[in-house]
Structure 1
Amino acid sequence: MSETDIQSDLAGDPRVTVFVAPADVPQLTDYLDRLGRPRVVTAGGVADAAAYCRQQAAPAILVVDISHEAHPLPALGELLQAAGPACRLVVLGERNDVNLYRSLLGEGVVDYLLKPVAFDQLAQVLQRADDDQPVQVPASGRTIALTGASGGAGTSTVAAGLALALARIGHAPQALVDFDRRNGDLPLLLGTGPTDGLRAALDAGDSDPRLLLRTLSRISDRIYLLAQQPDIEAVALDEGQALQLGAALCRLFGLSIWDLPAQRDSACLEVLRHAEVRVVLTDLTVQDARKVLRLLREIGDESAGQRLLLVANASRQGAQPAVPRAQFEEFVGHKIALALPWGGPALAGSLLKGPLDPDVSPAFRDALAGLADLLSGRQPAAAARSQGGVAGRLRSLFTRDATAVRRAA
């Protein structure tokens, strides 16, 4: 598949989509018709464009008017995250301001055109948008890293289910990384064929966005998977490779979810040390309590502003907690944020019919939705009952800048 095909896949609507002031709709419609461009021209602004992109696949080229935006740069940052990595953004406006122009280009905008827009200028910019690199979302993406205290903790199932839950509530396009290079199974869980994109991205040794886009497998309009075929002889990675990949994903996506194996090498530990949110899945056993305590000593606490969520996951049928929850929390020195119920045989059985389907296990599905709400700053009812004020403290989860991953890139 060519790079152009991949970009068309990521930006599913080939039409030029325009949101401008009502008075400008006839002129832009006429221009695009004269250029022979499939188009959608609508009266609206940045917020309308962002809502459009959240509801359906983003267009290949998006033209938006910022004339009436009091604070255009933050608004465009949100729009770029909603539109995803392959949507190329052209901005129209009335301010002839060099500093604004430079700031817009720094945000990833293809070009800024003063109104009234000349026909030839629009034609040239659209041609450049066709030929340019895909827009890179400003390097403000967040990273969520999941790992299990022990093998078999259900980390991959939770990672896949979490991605589906976030997509369901309208989250911006996200990257899902299966970093278990020896025994990863996210492709199976998500119903996609064999892929070796992760190996290709790591072997390339750089963060070229064109290459990274080619390595992604599109699961849906909101989920893009980076994985590789299991390789039992996979050698340990250099820590810098993982951090460089993480930084590149942060520039392309508003959110990256990493599924890390329980047998963690130094690269996995570095991802955990730099991720904005660390989710550790555990059973309430003496063995896992000791492993969690050791892991927390290695990756650090929340003092640097990174969030740490312990999630009790009943991944084994009929398993009763060997250690009371309060005692477990006291031993590891951290509260359990959420408890996930056992998914039951129906959850595993759904994989015989296709991708993972959390709907077959309503209790598990609802708990995953609660986790997604918690990570998105919402207050899920179940979480509020079980953890008191913890969810409230997480309301600012995605407000900090993603400087940690980029620091090492």
Structure 2
Amino acid sequence: MSAIDYEIKSTDLPDGGSYADDAVRSNDLDHLRPLPRISMHAFCESEAMQRLMERCAEDRRMAKVSLRITSGSTAAAANMFAAAPTPNLIILETSTEPRDLLGELVPLAEVCDPSTKVIVVGHYNDIGLYRELMRSGISEYIVAPVGLKDLIAAVSAIFVDPDAEPLGRTIAFIGAKGGVGSSTIAHNCAFGISTLFSTETILADLDLPYGTANIDFDQDPAQGIAEAVFSPERLDEVFLDRLLTKCSEHLSLLAAPSMLDRGYDFERSAFHPVLEVLQRSVPVTILDVPHVWSDWTRSVLAEADEVVIAAVPDLANLRNAKNMIDALKKLRPNDKAPHLVLNQVGMAKRPEISVADFSGPLELDPIAIIPFDSQLFGNAANSGRMVSEMDPKSPTAETFSQIAHIVTGRTNTKRAKKSGLGRVLGLLGRK
């Protein structure tokens, strides 16, 4: 078969058969670290394998990988690399029988650089063949049909240091519309995670011109996230530690300057160095993402482990939430859907869309429903304290605890609790 390169594009999963039947559950890939900056070339004999490699190319853990996909056999790979340098990794799909496979690989071995790794995807479950391939220098042999998790895990096992410190989780909060309380929810959840689980947590306020985390925690830091973003060459764990402000025993704040003395136009990857250092520094990072849709916010949301969308139950929020969820599905095709939190529910004299009618078109049940309570939230904001500090036994404090458990994976996502919402449900029931 001749080698025919084709463009990597987004496709729908096939309805039946083979590789893509591995419906990837979100937590199957969550433990895998992002792959380093490597070059990879896959040679596929079947359309199913090509579709699998397409899905790999779209996965956020492969963001730094330079991937090329070719329709061709082992012979096509040998012919190509006879006149070109080999990449860091070659993935070969082959239907060759075990007795002939080692001989088929000889021409490729003769043109491969010594540092190049090879993964073979075969169609025979043969332990003798596996041992022979390992002795011959093949890095891994996987029996088809192959799942996305299996393939990325195999690549990760080759290129990611198994003794490296585990990466912390990043949880991004963003509002479906301005003023829906996404920042307030993010701040209360960061505080809840740090206190409920005694987990070292960093809250990063990414709204540089207008961020409110410093006000909500009654802090006035001289430095913060601006210094990290505008000086990436200086950024490491030691420099980051100097930029953090301690809010409580286990919670630190990377504050926004909240000043308009400069423009804040960022390139797509501007926040990547900051996020990488944060992941290496603490188990949990909460990202307070402003309600803007730009290259850098898309990139931050695509790279986060969890995304939480806050919304108010009205038509504009429903439209925006729907658009955001659809966009995130394309940005994060192998991750679970974002979480939805309905906020400010039951505001007096304000028409609302019912919870069922709001979540129906989104095909997403809210993980929490937070009632409108101007006194509780107003008092907390004006005193620079969190809701659980103001009224730890309130239903709203319990709701923030519920969100903290869900986004950190300490409990399964389930339908939002409705305790403490008697007045709200009464209002909704009359619609």
TM-score interval, normalised by the smaller of the two chains:
0.5 to 0.7
- Closer, same or farther: CA 334–357 of 1 in aligned 2, 3 Å: closer
| Structure 2 counterpart of 1:158, one-letter code | I
User: Could you tell me how far 1:214 is from its partner in structure 2?
Assistant: 1.1
Matched, 1:366 2:394: no
- 1:219-230 to 2 correspondences below 5 Å: 219-230=247-258
* Structure 1 equivalent of residue 193 of structure 2: 166
What is the CA–CA distance in structure 2 between the aligned matches of 1:275 and 1:350, rounded to whole Å? 28
User: Could you tell me how far 1:376 is from its partner in structure 2?
Assistant: 3.2
User: Could you tell me how far 1:316 is from its partner in structure 2?
Assistant: 8.1
User: Could you tell me how far 1:213 is from its partner in structure 2?
Assistant: 1.3
| Structure 1 counterpart of 2:181, one-letter code | G
- Closer, same or farther: CA 386–315 of 1 in aligned 2, 3 Å: closer
Partners of 1:341 and 1:367 within 8 A in 2: no
Q: TM-score normalised to the size of structure 2?
A: 0.54
User: Could you tell me how far 1:151 is from its partner in structure 2?
Assistant: 0.8
- Closer, same or farther: CA 173–265 of 1 in aligned 2, 3 Å: same
* Structure 2 equivalent of residue 326 of structure 1: 356
Matched, 1:308 2:338: yes
- Closer, same or farther: CA 329–346 of 1 in aligned 2, 3 Å: closer
1:288 aligns with one of 314, 317, 331: 317
Matched, 1:238 2:274: no
Moved more, 141-150 or 363-372: 363-372
The alignment's C-alpha RMSD in Å is 2.7
* Structure 1 equivalent of residue 290 of structure 2: 261
Which structure is larger by alpha-carbon Rg, 1 or 2?
Answer: 2
| Structure 1 counterpart of 2:385, one-letter code | P
Partners of 2:204 and 2:253 within 8 A in 1: yes
* Structure 1 equivalent of residue 184 of structure 2: 157
* Structure 1 equivalent of residue 151 of structure 2: none
- 1:8-407 to 2 correspondences below 5 Å: 106-107=163-164, 138-206=165-233, 207-232=235-260, 233-300=262-329, 303-314=333-344, 317-318=347-348, 320=350, 322-361=352-391, 362-379=394-411, 383=415, 385=417
Equivalent residue pairs, number: 254
Note the alpha carbon deviations across 1:87-119, whole angstroms, 9 max, x for none.
xxxxxxxxxxxxxxxx89x44xxxxxxxxxxxx
* Structure 2 equivalent of residue 36 of structure 1: none
Give the 3-state SS of the residue equivalent to 2:269 in structure 1: helix
- Closer, same or farther: CA 262–354 of 1 in aligned 2, 3 Å: closer
- Closer, same or farther: CA 156–351 of 1 in aligned 2, 3 Å: same
Partners of 2:366 and 2:416 within 8 A in 1: no
Note the alpha carbon deviations across 1:94-152, whole angstroms, 9 max, x for none.
xxxxxxxxx89x44xxxxxxxxxxxxxxxxxxxxxxxxxxxxxx251111000001111
| Structure 2 counterpart of 1:336, one-letter code | P
User: Could you tell me how far 1:306 is from its partner in structure 2?
Assistant: 4.2
Q: Which runs of 5+ in 2 are unaligned?
A: 1-160, 420-431
* Structure 2 equivalent of residue 83 of structure 1: none
* Structure 2 equivalent of residue 85 of structure 1: none
What is the CA–CA distance in structure 2 between the aligned matches of 1:304 and 1:381, rounded to whole Å? 18
User: Could you tell me how far 1:304 is from its partner in structure 2?
Assistant: 1.2
Partners of 2:325 and 2:338 within 8 A in 1: no
User: Could you tell me how far 1:377 is from its partner in structure 2?
Assistant: 3.1
Give the 3-state SS of the residue equivalent to 2:179 in structure 1: coil
User: Could you tell me how far 1:294 is from its partner in structure 2?
Assistant: 1.5
Partners of 2:218 and 2:383 within 8 A in 1: no
What is the CA–CA distance in structure 1 between the aligned matches of 2:300 and 2:176, rounded to whole Å? 16
- Closer, same or farther: CA 264–140 of 1 in aligned 2, 3 Å: same
Give the 3-state SS of the residue equivalent to 1:177 in structure 2: strand
Partners of 1:191 and 1:356 within 8 A in 2: no
User: Could you tell me how far 1:386 is from its partner in structure 2?
Assistant: 5.9
User: Could you tell me how far 1:366 is from its partner in structure 2?
Assistant: 1.1
What is the CA–CA distance in structure 2 between the aligned matches of 1:271 and 1:202, rounded to whole Å? 13
User: Could you tell me how far 1:319 is from its partner in structure 2?
Assistant: 6.2
Q: Which runs of 5+ in 1 are unaligned?
A: 1-102, 108-137, 388-409
What is the CA–CA distance in structure 2 between the aligned matches of 1:280 and 1:213, rounded to whole Å? 29
Give the 3-state SS of the residue equivalent to 2:220 in structure 1: coil
Give the 3-state SS of the residue equivalent to 1:241 in structure 2: coil
* Structure 2 equivalent of residue 34 of structure 1: none
What is the CA–CA distance in structure 1 between the aligned matches of 2:373 and 2:173, rounded to whole Å? 18
What is the CA–CA distance in structure 2 between the aligned matches of 1:151 and 1:335, rounded to whole Å? 21
What is the CA–CA distance in structure 2 between the aligned matches of 1:382 and 1:270, rounded to whole Å? 28
What is the CA–CA distance in structure 1 between the aligned matches of 2:297 and 2:413, rounded to whole Å? 33
* Structure 2 equivalent of residue 77 of structure 1: none
What is the CA–CA distance in structure 2 between the aligned matches of 1:386 and 1:316, rounded to whole Å? 12
What is the CA–CA distance in structure 2 between the aligned matches of 1:315 and 1:244, rounded to whole Å? 38
| Structure 1 counterpart of 2:399, one-letter code | A
Give the 3-state SS of the residue equivalent to 2:402 in structure 1: helix
User: Could you tell me how far 1:330 is from its partner in structure 2?
Assistant: 2.6
Partners of 1:275 and 1:306 within 8 A in 2: no
- Closer, same or farther: CA 239–316 of 1 in aligned 2, 3 Å: farther
What is the CA–CA distance in structure 1 between the aligned matches of 2:288 and 2:403, rounded to whole Å? 15
Identity, in percent, stands at 20
